[in-house]
Structure 1
Amino acid sequence: MLYFQQNARKFGKSIALLSGSQAYSYSTLIDQAEKIAGLLVEDQADLHQSPVAYMVEPGFAYVSAQWGIWLAGGIAVPVALAQPVDSIQYIIQDTGAKTFICSACFTSLLSDFCRDADVRLLVWEEVPETASKSLPEINVDKGAMILYTSGTTSLPKGVLSTHHGIESQIRSLVEAWNYTADDHTLCVLPLHHIHGIINVISATLYVGGKVEFLPQFSPEEIFARFKQGALNVFMAVPTIYFKLIAYLESLPESERIELKTCMQAFRLMISGSAALPVSVMEKWEILSGQRLLERYGMTEIGMAISNPYAGERRAGHVGMPLPGVQVRIVDEKNRIVEGQPGEIQIKGPTVFKEYWGKEKASQEAFTEDGWFKTGDVAELADGYYRILGRNSTDIIKSGGYKLSALEIEEVLRTHASVEDCSVVGLPDEEWGEIVAAAVVLKDKKSSPEELNTFMRQKMPAYRVPRKYLFLSELPRNAMGKVTKNDLKVLFT
């Protein structure tokens, strides 16, 4: 019996999910999952790791569909709710999924597509009250979930994790962040990424806690839930905190004080999925009384590094290795380095199994001795890791220097007129790459000359942006990360 099935039976009538205006117990959740599993297996004994795509609304439908796929022996393939049909077609073709579960509101989008692709379409709301079926025993080393990478430099790759890998990720977080049955968290994140699926939902349900769902992002609604006083854990991406800060700053002082009192009662607030600007961390602490816990992870490895739950949460750093995770920093020749930047490599049971159907890419992702090559550059000081950026997009090689775009961004954000920014490297014959900055202004008064003067007072000339581009907003993906390859095109 898989861990979530055992736990659901153990927690029984305790509330697991709050979705819409309804509360769902663990027993109700696992019963619905078993009905879905019975419908999926039909006359088979086991789905034998067949991928099953699902596009369902956040809440009871989502979790029961995911668990149902797992109980039937299938591999869960979550599809983003805002995914265009072309992207859905790519996922179906890449995974070879022959079954698609959807919420009723998506049938008009998917019915013709599934018919033409010879894919069985199951509508979640139409799952029949079937007699219980004998469900397969699932080996924990079998495939459990395929999540797709962002695909910024190539077509997205399907990241396959096993049941053992997923539970290892959960257990590591439960130990590090002190999850308990008293936890009540709010899910505001998309559920085709590991952040929402594992950190918010799976880890909370693992210990018998409650997950509350917010179908659409709304600062007003988030703070309304905070005021109710039941929530004690909140996780989000930096862009969400940025928007919440802007909303708080627009409120009268009396309302800000009331909300700060509510937020101070939370036991934990976390930021992840993109680098947390120091300015955002500091503003949030002033407004909420909460010092955000920043961590580092990715689809292929789950969470790997985290600031401590109890201890110093160091601004601009992602912390220390999580339980069960091995971390090392290596140079371009794969030699371990100390006291200087290098690529982060990760090893442990939390690491994914393979890229689905891509044997060569899977082999190239690992060293000969089994370490996963993240492609992220970091340095280690006083036991804390600090991310300098992604090798391909955040490390700018200019005139013989290796420059961290993230460091330059932090300085640029300290200018009084800069609301947000993103730094990239642009090809240049003389320098290799030159530093360029896209800037979102709070007002329209600043100029490239003014920003250039400011930056030259703060850092050496070779690190100062040579080009500036003013935008109303930065291009981002669903998790709030700036899509730097899209940004580079805007400079041309």
Structure 2
Amino acid sequence: MTDKPWLGQYPANVPAEIDMTEFSSVTDVIKKSCETYADKTAYVNFGAELSYKQVDDYSRAFGAQMQALGLGKGDRIAIMMPNVLQYPIAVFGALRAGLVVVNTNPLYTARELKHQLKDSGARAIVIMDNFASVLEAVVDDTQVEHVILTRMGDMVGGLKGAIMNFVIRRVKKMVPPYSLPGSLTFKAVLADGARASLDEPALNHDDLAFLQYTGGTTGVSKGAMLTHGNMVANMQQSSAWLGSLVTPGEETIVTALPLYHIFALTANCLVFLKFGGRNLLITNPRDMAGFVKELGSIRFTAITGVNTLFNGLLNTPGFADLDFSSLRLTLGGGMAVQRAVAERWKKTTGVPLIEAYGLTETSPAACINPMDLKDYNGAIGLPIPSTSCQVVDPDGQPVAQGETGELCVRGPQVMKGYWQRPEETAKVLTEDGWLRTGDMARMDENGYFYIVDRKKDMILVSGFNVYPNEIEDVVADHPKVLEVGAIGAPDEKSGEVVKVVVVRKDPSLTVKELREHCRKELTGYKVPKYVEFVDELPKTNVGKILRRELRDQYGDPRSSSD
């Protein structure tokens, strides 16, 4: 067996190694694509379009104004928006000014937002006004000096954009009251920046591009330091893998996963930027009926998503009636793709659902199944170009082929480390560059990898990591709770949902009361769907909760308290 048996399974047009010299930075990709595809449509959202030329002009203006405000190379800027036209403008503009982008989930609670802003040391934030009240509660406790506010319809423009903003604020009441004195508007920033000049700093592969926050077994959200080199590498790896499936300047990709998530950020935003593709931004994919209607208005060639997204579409009336004649690429990641969903997807669309595997720490792609795969195979795929994977035992030694161990990844897409957390970095990055993923896997004789189980105790809700310690900390903070253990329970829609097993201090504590407490401190998908009250939790002799035993005893959601 060769050291890299997977190379023998590569499609003919996929190279073993990528060319890292083509682009010096992500900004290099932005500028080259904006020039090459100037007249092509780059983004579509709510029926409004942005050409590559407009993306170039707007991002240049945004970056120039950030510099005018005193932000310089290496300063962090948080961006807290759903998928709207403002997102790529802000991200690209920030990168062109040499800033480091801190992607921020718009659904964060005040506690979560405060941690991320303080930990990253962000000096500025771009935020949708729907979430401004959350920022108001914490901004004085952070290093944020500049707040840039935007509204949903700002870049839609014209009468339609104005009506959208009015309806969202006045009719649907989706903008809670807030007060952020001294804040700037996104439109004013663009207008002022258009009159300023952008001094684009020299950037190379070692410069930081993103602080991409991810959980950890400690429950503390950590910033994965993703360099320009990491992002360029993964873009080059992924685009090489797609090969002949993609025609530059002719693709339309559906972007329903949030761009603040590493999967859509790289796969949709960067890879299809390089290809001069058109991104259809879906702002609210939870509105499945509206999502399907949107898909009916455009001929799309590619779509990415998580298992729950594909399952949702398949179960939405009208989806099966769409025109799939242009669709050539469906990529699933973020969580395991279920066989039933993959088989139904192919039957409905005529296109296989190709499973990929990655982590925030790998920018994210590490393994992808061949694009010419005909049917679901249960594997996470083959290591992509310039990437090595191995399965190791607890001592870090490679196990025999077919045996289970921890999956480790090495390649140019592996993060620099965790922001200001050398001890946490040392736990996952070996001296010779291997990233310990925490996932248990095996490799077959052809170099295909299969995830067997998760070494980490994380719960995966619709592709988002939820760490038990964070949930337990919040639940345990309730005065009527004595002890708590958090586990994942199976769920048809989300893959998994959060379940907490609680020992009450006060017998009057109800499920409703506990959930309301959690909603104040946790993003929606982290709030326990199931709560079970018990007399005691299974523990070791030193008092540590036995999570596996907890899962075995209480993993069935049907055993939950009312």
Please state which band the TM-score falls in when normalised by the shorter chain: 0.7 to 0.9
Distance in 1 separating the partners of 2:69 and 2:315: 55
Q: Which residue of 1 aligns with 2:334?
A: 273
1:380 has 2:469 as partner: no
Provide, for residues 185-222 of structure 1, a one-character-per-residue CA deviation record: whole Å limited to 9, x for no partner: 11111222111111111111111000011111122223
Distance in 1 separating the partners of 2:374 and 2:365: 19
Q: Which residue of 2 aligns with 1:455?
A: none
Q: Which residue of 2 aligns with 1:95?
A: 120
Q: How does 1:345-364 map to 2 (within 5 A)?
A: 345-364=408-427
Q: Scaled by the length of structure 1, what TM-score is found? A: 0.78
Contact 2:74 2:99 in 1 (8 A): yes
Q: Secondary structure at the match of 1:228?
A: coil
From 225, 234, 252, the equivalent of 2:294 is 225
Residues 335 and 108 of structure 1: is their aligned pair in 2 closer, same or farther, counting only changes over 3 Å? closer
From 85, 89, 100, the equivalent of 1:64 is 89
Residues 377 and 135 of structure 1: is their aligned pair in 2 closer, same or farther, counting only changes over 3 Å? same
1:303 has 2:370 as partner: no
Q: Is the deviation greater in 154-163 or in 187-196?
A: 187-196
Q: Secondary structure at the match of 2:50?
A: strand
Distance in 2 separating the partners of 1:361 and 1:177: 34
Q: How does 1:157-306 map to 2 (within 5 A)?
A: 157-178=222-243, 179=246, 180-217=248-285, 218-247=287-316, 251=317, 258-259=321-322, 262-263=323-324, 265-301=326-362, 302-306=364-368
From 148, 167, 175, the equivalent of 1:122 is 148
Distance in 2 separating the partners of 1:353 and 1:66: 20
Superposed CA RMSD in Å reads 3.0
Residues 336 and 21 of structure 1: is their aligned pair in 2 closer, same or farther, counting only changes over 3 Å? same
Q: Secondary structure at the match of 2:74?
A: coil
Q: Secondary structure at the match of 1:144?
A: strand
Distance in 2 separating the partners of 1:12 and 1:328: 43
Distance in 1 separating the partners of 2:376 and 2:447: 11
Residues 435 and 193 of structure 1: is their aligned pair in 2 closer, same or farther, counting only changes over 3 Å? same
From 135, 140, 144, the equivalent of 1:110 is 135
Aligned-residue offset at 1:139: 2.5
Contact 1:29 1:60 in 2 (8 A): no
Residues 97 and 466 of structure 1: is their aligned pair in 2 closer, same or farther, counting only changes over 3 Å? closer
Provide, for residues 95-132 of structure 1, a one-character-per-residue CA deviation record: whole Å limited to 9, x for no partner: 11111122344444435643553522123232124232
Q: Secondary structure at the match of 2:78?
A: strand
Q: Secondary structure at the match of 1:131?
A: coil
**Given residue 242 of structure 2, which amino acid in structure 1 is its aligned partner?**
W
Q: How does 1:339-350 map to 2 (within 5 A)?
A: 339-350=402-413
Aligned-residue offset at 1:389: 1.9
Q: Secondary structure at the match of 1:276?
A: coil
**Given residue 94 of structure 1, which amino acid in structure 2 is its aligned partner?**
D
From 69, 78, 81, the equivalent of 2:106 is 81
Aligned-residue offset at 1:383: 2.6
Bigger relative CO (Cα 8 Å, ≥ 6 apart): 2
Residues 100 and 35 of structure 1: is their aligned pair in 2 closer, same or farther, counting only changes over 3 Å? same
Aligned-residue offset at 1:275: 0.9
Residues 467 and 69 of structure 1: is their aligned pair in 2 closer, same or farther, counting only changes over 3 Å? closer
Contact 1:225 1:231 in 2 (8 A): no
Aligned-residue offset at 1:77: 0.5
Q: Secondary structure at the match of 2:250?
A: coil
Structure 2 unpaired stretches of 5+: 1-26, 150-185, 460-489, 502-536
Provide, for residues 318-373 of structure 1, a one-character-per-residue CA deviation record: whole Å limited to 9, x for no partner: 11111121111111111112220111111111111110010111122112322111
Contact 2:34 2:56 in 1 (8 A): yes
Q: Secondary structure at the match of 1:136?
A: coil
Identity across the alignment (%):
24
Q: Secondary structure at the match of 2:196?
A: coil
Q: Which residue of 1 aligns with 2:557?
A: 470
Q: Which residue of 2 aligns with 1:404?
A: none
Contact 2:311 2:493 in 1 (8 A): no
Q: Scaled by the length of structure 2, what TM-score is found? A: 0.68
**Given residue 439 of structure 2, which amino acid in structure 1 is its aligned partner?**
D
Q: Which residue of 2 aligns with 1:475?
A: none
Q: Secondary structure at the match of 2:309?
A: helix
Q: Secondary structure at the match of 2:293?
A: helix
Distance in 2 separating the partners of 1:31 and 1:342: 50
Distance in 2 separating the partners of 1:342 and 1:231: 40
Q: Secondary structure at the match of 2:259?
A: coil
Q: Is the deviation greater in 144-153 or in 161-170?
A: 144-153
Q: Which residue of 2 aligns with 1:406?
A: none
Contact 1:427 1:434 in 2 (8 A): no
**Given residue 130 of structure 1, which amino acid in structure 2 is its aligned partner?**
R
Residues 275 and 216 of structure 1: is their aligned pair in 2 closer, same or farther, counting only changes over 3 Å? same
Contact 1:226 1:263 in 2 (8 A): no
- Number of residue pairs matched? 418
From 135, 143, 146, the equivalent of 2:211 is 146
1:21 has 2:33 as partner: no
Residues 27 and 383 of structure 1: is their aligned pair in 2 closer, same or farther, counting only changes over 3 Å? same
From 40, 48, 53, the equivalent of 2:66 is 40
1:319 has 2:387 as partner: no
Q: Is the deviation greater in 120-129 or in 363-372?
A: 120-129
Residues 468 and 21 of structure 1: is their aligned pair in 2 closer, same or farther, counting only changes over 3 Å? closer
